[in-house]
Structure 1
Amino acid sequence: MKRIFAFVTVVVVISGIMAWSTPGLLKSVHLGLDLKGGFEILYEASPMEGGEKVSRQSLLKTAQSLEDRANKLGTSEPEVTTEGTNRIRLKLAGVTDEAEVRKLMKEPASLTFRSKDGTEKSENEYNKIEMVGTDFVENAAKLELGSMNEPIVAIKVKDKKKFAEITERLLGKPLAIYMNDKMISDPIVQNVLSDGTATITVGGDRKKAEELRDVINLGALPLKLTEKYTQSVGATLGKQSLDKTIEAGLIASAFILLFMVGMYRVPGLIAAFTLIVHTWLLILVFVWADFTLTLPGIAALILGVGMAVDANIITNERIHEEMKNGKSVMSAVKAGDKHSFRTVMDSQLTTVIVAAVMYWFGTGAVKGFALVLIVEIVLSIATNIYLSRFLLNLLLKAGKLLKPKYFGVKESEIREL
C-alpha cells in the first residue's frame, strides 16, 4: 500500500507542477533570429594603424571577437559571417536595447595605464604608456567595494612584478587610466601594489562602474569597425509556419504516446508520462539557463525525443522477449532492464560524444544544435531510464502488474519453461 501511495504521490505532484508552471515557462522561452526576427549590422573593417592591411586572419579573429561579445551580452547563437576582404555581417536576436548593443559591439575597449614622462612638454599630459590591454588577465574585471563602501572596478594583471615596479617608480605620483584615449581617472599611487590587482574608481557611481567592468571584459577588437548599415531582419519561419510546426509536433507526439500505450500497456503509459516530464524539464532548462530556441534547436529537440522513445521501446521489447520465454513478470522486468541498459546507454553516450565534438569545433547554429542535443540526452537518461524504471518497480513491488497482459503480452505468446 505504501508503494502505491508513493507512486500516486510522485505522479500527481510532478503532474501538478508541470500543469502549473508550463504556461509561464513557454512565455519565457527566448526565440532565435530565425523564429522571432531581430536586426543585423554590416561592418566595414579597417586596420587600427594607418598604412596596414586587413588580413584574412585578422578579419576572422574580429568576427570571432564579435561573436564572443554578442554571447556575453546575452544574445545567444548570434550569426556572424565575413564578406569579401573587409566586411563582417552580424545578426542578433532577443535584443531589447538596440542602440546600446550597437555601441558596445564595435567599442575597441583599449585600456591603458599612463604616466607623465617627466619632460616639460608632458607636464600636463599623460603620454607614457605603462600598461596596455594585453597586460591584463582576460575577463578579469570585477565590481568590488572599496574601503568607504564605494563601487570600484578591480582588474587582475598578468605580470605582478611589472605592476609592482611601475607603482614603486610612480609612488606619490599619478597613474592615469585611459579607455580609448579618454581618461577615466588619474589616481595618485599611494602604495606599492604587489598583489597583481589594479583598481579603478568612478566617483561612487555604481552604474558607471558596471558599464566600465563590462566594456573592459569585452576585450579589444583586432580591427576598427565602421557601420555601413543596420536593418531589421524578419523571421525565417513566419508565425503561421511556426504555429503549424508546433501543431504538427503535438499531433505526432500524441500518436507516439498512443502507440506506446497500445503496444506496452502500463509500461507504455509510464513511458508516455516520463516523455512528457522529459520535454517539460527541457523547457525548464531553456528558461533557467537563458538559452535561445532556434530551428537547429527544434531539430535537436525532435531528435532527442526520438532517441528517448527508442530507449523505451528497446527496454520494453526486451521485457516482452523475457516474458515470451516463460519467465515471471518480476524476473522478465529485471532481466529486460539489465540486458537493455547497456544497449541504451551505449547509444546515448556515443551521441553525446559526437555532439560534444560538434559543440567544440562548431560555431553559431551548429553549437546550438549540439548543446540542445547534449541536454536532451542527459534529461532522457534521467527520465526515460531511471524515472520510468523507478515508477514501474514501485507498482511491481506493490504486488500489481504481475500478469503479462499488463505488459501487452498475450498468454498464447508465452512459451513454457
Structure 2
Amino acid sequence: MKTKARSIIVFILIVLVIGVVGFVGFKGAIIGDYQIKSFDKTITKGLDLQGGVSVVMEIKQDKVKREDLEKTKEVLALRVNKVGVSETVVAIEGNNKIRIDIPGKYDSKTIVDSLSKTGELKFIGPDQAEILTGKDVAKATPRTNPQSGKPEVGLELTESGKKKFADATTKFVGQNIAIKMDEDVLTNPVVNEPILGGEASISGSKSLQEAKKLAALINGGALPLPVKTASVQTVGAQLGADALPNAMKAGVVGIGIIFLFLILYYRVPGFLACISLSFYIVILLLTFALMGATLTLPGIAGFLLTIGMAADANILIFERTREELRTGKSIKASIESGLHNAMSSIVDSNLTTIIGGIVLYIFGAGPVKGFALTLIMGIVLSLLTAIVFTKLLMKLGTQMGILSKPSLFGVKRRAN
C-alpha cells in the first residue's frame, strides 16, 4: 500500500509539473517583478515566420583560408548590427559563402550596399582626430592576462604606427581612445600610461570569445576578402505573419490526432504515452529557447516529424509488451520484457535518423540546416524520453494498479 500511495503521489507531481511548465511556457507568467516570457517570445523565428531579408555573400577569389572567412563573417555581422537588427543570423556556408538572415521589414538594397562596401578601421582620440588606421596595426592577438586572469587583446603596431601611437597615448593619458569600424565603436579603452614600444593591451572583454572577435575585427581592418552578392531573398511581413499561425494550427491538429490514436488504440498505456509526449514537447521547446536556436517552417516540419518518431518509440514498446502478454506472462514481466525487447529497434531507427540529420546539417544550407538541427535535437530528446520517461511512467502505472489487466493494453486474452 505504501508503494502504491508513493507511486500515485509521484505520478500526480509529474503531471502537475508538466502542466505548470507547459502552461507557463505557452502563456508566460509574471511572478512579482519577474516576468517569464512564453516560448513564442523567447524562441527566435526565422525569416519565413516573421519576414525579412536573406542575403548570401560570396567570396570573389578561388582559394579562401578558413581564418579569413571567419574574419569576413565577423565584419559583416558588425555591419548588419548597425542597421538596428536583433536576432540576426550570420553563418558560413560551404567554403566561400556567408549567409546573413535579417528578420523584420528592411530595405534590401541598403543592406546589400552596407555589406558590400570596403569598410575602414580607425583609432580615434577624444578630440575626434584620427590617430591610427588598420594599416598601422601589425597584429592583434586574443589572450588571457597572466596577472589578472582576465581576457584581453594584445596589439602590435607597425613602425609607422608605433610613433603615432606613442605621441597619442602620451597626450591622452587618462582619456579614451576609441577603436571604430566605419562609424561603429568596437571598443573605447582608457589610456593608463604612455605606450612607447609599439605593443599594447586592450582590456574590457567579458570573455575570451569576445576578445577573439575583437582581435579578428582589428586584424581584418576592412573586409579581409572581396565579396559579391550571390543572392537576395525578401520575405514579406504579411507572408511571415500568416505562416506562423497556420503552422501552429497544423501542429495542434497533428499532435491531437496522434494523442487520440494512442488513447483509442492502446488505452491506458496510450494515455501514459500522451503524458510522455507532452513532456517531450515542453522539453524540446524549452531547449530551443535556452539554446537560442532559430525556428523556421522546415524546422516546424522537423519538430512534428520528431513527435511522430517519439510516438513510434512508445508504440514499439507497447506492441512488444502486448506480444509478451499474449504468451501468458504477468503484467510486470511483460512490461519489463517489452521495454527490453523494444530498445534495440528504437535505438537503431533513431540513430540512423540522427546520422541523416547530421549529413543534412553539414552539407545543407539555409532552411535545410534549420530542418536538420530541429530533427537532430528532437530525435535525441525523444530517444531519452522513450528510454527514461516512458519506462518510469509504465513502472508507476504498474505500481498504482492502473496497468493491472491485459485488457488495459487492448489484449483480450488474459494472462495465465
TM-score greater than 0.5 by the shorter chain: yes
Deviations 1:39-67 (A, max 9, x none): 3568798xxxxxxxx43456999887666
Q: Which residue of 2 aligns with 1:371?
A: 373
1:9 to 13, 19, 35: 13
Corresponding position: 1:20 with 2:24: yes
- What is the CA–CA distance in structure 2 between the aligned matches of 1:392 and 1:128, rounded to whole Å? 65
CA distance in structure 2 between the aligned counterparts of 1:228 and 1:328, rounded to whole angstroms: 65
Give the unaligned 5+ runs of structure 2: 28-37, 124-129, 170-176
Alignment of 1:323-334 (within 5 A): 323-334=325-336
1:337 counterpart residue number: 339
Verify: 1:321 aligned to 2:335, yes or no: no
Kindly indicate whether the alpha-carbon contact (under 8 Å) linking 1:141 and 1:217 is maintained by their aligned counterparts in 2.
no
Rounded Cα–Cα distance in structure 2 between residues aligned with 1:348 and 1:289: 22
Note closer, same or farther for the CA distance 1:256–1:229 as it changes in structure 2 (3 Å cut): closer
- What do residues 193-238 of structure 1 show as CA deviations (whole Å, max 9, x unaligned)? 7xxxx42379xxx99xxx9986544563333568999996415954
CA contact (8 A) 1:79 1:364 kept: no
Q: Which residue number in structure 1 is paired with residue 101 of structure 2?
A: 92
Partners of 1:333 and 1:314 in 2: CA distance: 12
Counterpart AA for 2:311: V
Question: After superposition, what is the alpha-carbon deviation per residue over 1:249-301, rounded to whole angstroms, capped at 9, x for unaligned?
Answer: 21221111011011111111111111122112222122222222112211211
What is the Cα-based RMSD across aligned positions, in Å? 5.1
In structure 2, C-alpha distance between the alignment counterparts of 1:164 and 1:69, rounded to whole Å: 21
Matches of 1:165 and 1:79, distance apart in 2? 32
1:39 match: 53
Q: Do 2:18 and 2:278's aligned partners in 1 also have CA atoms closer than 8 Å?
A: no
Q: Distance in 1 between matches of 2:91 and 2:131?
A: 43
Shift of 1:240: 3.4
- 1:199-218 matched pairs, under 5 angstroms: 199-200=201-202, 216-218=215-217
Give the 3-state SS of the residue equivalent to 1:313 in structure 2: helix
Is residue 66–residue 105 contact of structure 1 (8 Å, CA) maintained in 2? no
Task: Answer whether contact 1:153 1:200 (CA < 8 A) is retained.
Answer: no
Distance (Å, rounded) in 1 between the aligned partners of 2:40 and 2:133: 55
Distance in 2 (CA, whole Å) between partners of 1:264 and 1:376 is 24
How far residue 344 of structure 1 moved from its aligned partner, in angstroms, is: 0.4
Q: What's the counterpart of residue 255 of structure 1?
A: 257
Q: Structure 2: how far apart are the matches of 1:128 and 1:250?
A: 54
After superposition, the Cα gap between the structure-2 partners of 1:228 and 1:284, relative to the gap in structure 1 and judged at 3 Å, is closer
Distance 1:271 1:345 in 2: 18
- Do 1:78 and 1:364's aligned partners in 2 also have CA atoms closer than 8 Å? no
Aligned length: 365
8 Å CA contact 1:26–1:283 kept in 2: the answer is no
Q: What is the CA distance between 1:103 and its match in structure 2?
A: 9.4
SS in 2 for 1:304: helix
Aligned mates of 2:235, 2:71 — CA distance in 1:
22
- 1:70-89 correspondence runs (5 A): 75=87, 77=89
SS of residue in 2 equivalent to 1:411: coil
- Is the contact between residue 108 and residue 180 of structure 1 (CA under 8 Å) also seen in structure 2? no
Structure 1: segments with no counterpart, 5+ residues: 46-53, 114-123, 158-162
Q: 1:277: which partner in 2? A: 279
| 1:378 to 1:362, Cα distance in 2 relative to 1, 3 A | same
TM-score scaled by structure 1?
0.68
Q: Kindly tell me: are residues 28 and 385 of structure 1, through their superposed partners in 2, closer, same or farther at Cα, counting changes over 3 Å? A: same
Is the 1:153–1:199 contact (alpha carbons within 8 Å) kept by the matching residues of 2? no
* Contact 2:143 2:151 (8 Å CA) reproduced: yes
Corresponding residue number in structure 2 for 1:116: none
